[in-house]
């Protein structure tokens, strides 16, 4: 059956009804220079040819030893996670608008919300967003809507927030009149110094963003920052690594009153690196702000016979309500990745997730010790970290990283473009997947490269 079921006669009849000579007449308002005939699209391939092409493409993914993080992390994913996630019931499920036909999907999303609310110590979680960067943009928009005490559309954004996140937030909010005021960081300690915020005392800002850990892997002084922001009438937006929360104080307990909105990237929870995606964003908030939360929320209820069931409750997007009253029109969720994350968290449990976080931290500490023992390598910052650290290498970083890659090692993420003031600084990461032999292999290879350069 063709994708378009209309016969040639039906097409002619419809064109005649609108007095059009042909289908092209329906698009005559589009300038000719903007049209594309899609001549670059190749002809269709047979099944055997497609299988061979895809196998060749898959072989291009190198199985390198990865010490890069910078927002996407290599964690062990139990085999059962994606075996269950890719069952037909989940793999092909559409958005669960019809509760009577979607109880399995709705229950998974409800369990996900429960787990995320518990992990962050927040009152409520939505059923996911597109990714961590757009989740932060949505949190900024939400804070501006929710903070009725603020008359401005200004946000304090630390330079220690992921550079890509900051760019995405700017791209989404700047045409809506929202101003991002960048906060500098201490170049010796790599965090936002709470005392430095005193210059903003009395100024009108809608919210302060607090990353934990920050982009450098450094832990921020979340209690002091949260209390200062609330004292100034601001909301607090936490940007967090969910695995780190297995060890660190959850944002709902920061300071005297806790963060107001919490968001981040959910990829570390059972989603493979996958050459960059798809991932998913998460968002949690206090009960006070739930009606300003974008996306959707799954609720638990009972039917008329008293049996428990699940259904979509708050759906404050333009698909369901008047556009002018929508909280967002960019609230795509990543249901399949969220399903994997839910299964992953359920399999690990709180103790398992804590062991993953602790092993990642320990491996990074050992890696920093090994690499710092090499001539020409030294830590840049002197504050506590989670599972990433910044090292300064007295050699051209691009050459060092190319040499490491040639030997099957992804050596880290260069900070030279995003933070040129740090010089030849390299962001490294180690998770629970790295063995002592892996750490030693990296140290020996880097030492050999530095001696040669």
Q: Is residue 304 part of a domain?
A: yes
Where among 320, 344, 368 does a domain terminate?
A: 344
Domain range for 409 is 65-70+350-452
Q: Is residue 3 part of a domain?
A: no
The Cβ-side half-sphere exposure at 272, using a 13 Å CA radius, reads 9
Number of neighbouring beta carbons within 10 Å of residue 398: 11
Where among 307, 325, 344 does a domain terminate?
A: 344
pLDDT in single tens digits along all 453 residues of the chain: 456 788 999 999 999 999 999 998 999 899 988 887 777 788 889 999 999 999 998 888 778 999 999 999 999 999 999 999 999 989 887 778 788 888 999 999 999 999 999 999 999 999 999 999 999 999 999 999 999 999 999 999 999 999 999 999 999 999 999 999 999 999 899 999 988 899 999 999 999 999 999 999 999 999 999 999 999 999 999 999 999 999 999 999 999 999 999 999 999 999 999 888 899 999 999 999 998 998 889 999 998 999 999 998 877 655 556 666 777 766 677 899 999 999 999 999 999 999 999 999 999 999 999 999 999 999 999 999 999 999 999 999 999 999 999 999 999 999 999 999 999 999 999 999 999 999 999 999 999 999 998
- CATH number of the domain where residue 414 is located: 3.90.1150.10
Q: Are residues 372 and 254 in the same domain?
A: no
Where among 344, 359, 378 does a domain terminate?
A: 344
Q: Number of folded domains in the chain?
A: 2
Q: Is residue 10 part of a domain?
A: no
Number of neighbouring beta carbons within 10 Å of residue 255: 20
Q: Are residues 337 and 368 in the same domain?
A: no
Q: Are residues 334 and 358 in the same domain?
A: no
pTM for the model stands at: 0.89
């Amino acid at each position: 059956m063709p994708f378009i079921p209309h016969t040639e006669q039906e097409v002619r009849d419809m064109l005649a009804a609108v007095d059009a000579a042909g289908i092209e007449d329906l698009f005559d308002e589009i300038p000719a220079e903007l049209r594309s005939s899609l001549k670059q699209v190749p002809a269709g391939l047979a099944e055997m040819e497609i299988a061979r092409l895809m196998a060749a493409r898959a072989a291009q993914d190198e199985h390198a030893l990865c010490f890069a993080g910078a927002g996407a992390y290599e964690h062990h994913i139990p085999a059962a996670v994606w075996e269950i996630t890719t069952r037909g019931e989940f793999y092909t499920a559409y958005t669960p608008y019809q509760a009577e036909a979607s109880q399995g999907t709705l229950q998974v999303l409800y369990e996900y919300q429960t787990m995320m609310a518990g992990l962050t110590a927040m009152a409520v979680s939505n059923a996911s967003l597109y990714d961590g960067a757009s989740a932060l943009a949505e949190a900024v928009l939400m804070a501006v809507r929710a903070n009725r005490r603020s008359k401005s559309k200004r946000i304090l954004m630390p330079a220690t927030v992921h550079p890509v996140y900051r760019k995405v937030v700017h791209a989404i909010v700047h045409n809506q009149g929202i101003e991002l005021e960048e906060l500098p960081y201490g170049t010796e300690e790599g965090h936002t110094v709470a005392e430095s915020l005193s210059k903003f005392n009395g100024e009108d800002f809608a919210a302060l963003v607090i990353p934990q850990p920050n982009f450098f892997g450094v832990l921020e002084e979340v209690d002091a920052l949260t209390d200062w922001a609330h004292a100034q009438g601001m909301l607090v937006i936490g940007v967090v690594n969910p695995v780190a929360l297995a060890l660190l104080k959850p944002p709902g307990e920061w300071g005297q009153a806790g963060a107001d909105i919490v968001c981040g990237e959910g990829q570390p929870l059972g989603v493979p690196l996958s050459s960059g995606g798809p991932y998913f964003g998460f968002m949690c908030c206090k009960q006070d702000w739930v009606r300003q939360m974008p996306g959707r929320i799954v609720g638990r209820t009972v039917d008329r016979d008293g049996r428990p069931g699940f259904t979509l409750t708050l759906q404050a997007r333009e698909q369901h309500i008047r556009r002018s009253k929508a909280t967002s029109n960019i609230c795509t969720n990543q249901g399949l990745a969220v399903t994997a994350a839910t299964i992953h968290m359920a399999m690990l449990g709180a103790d398992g997730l804590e062991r993953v976080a602790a092993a990642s931290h320990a491996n990074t500490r050992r890696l920093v010790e090994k690499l710092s023992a090499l001539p020409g390598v030294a830590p840049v910052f002197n504050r506590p970290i989670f599972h990433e650290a910044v090292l300064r290498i007295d050699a051209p970083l691009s050459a060092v990283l190319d040499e490491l890659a040639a030997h099957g090692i992804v050596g880290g993420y260069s900070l030279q473009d995003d933070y040129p003031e740090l010089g030849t600084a390299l962001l490294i990461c180690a998770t629970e997947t790295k063995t002592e032999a892996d750490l030693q292999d990296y140290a020996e290879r880097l030492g050999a490269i530095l001696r040669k350069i």
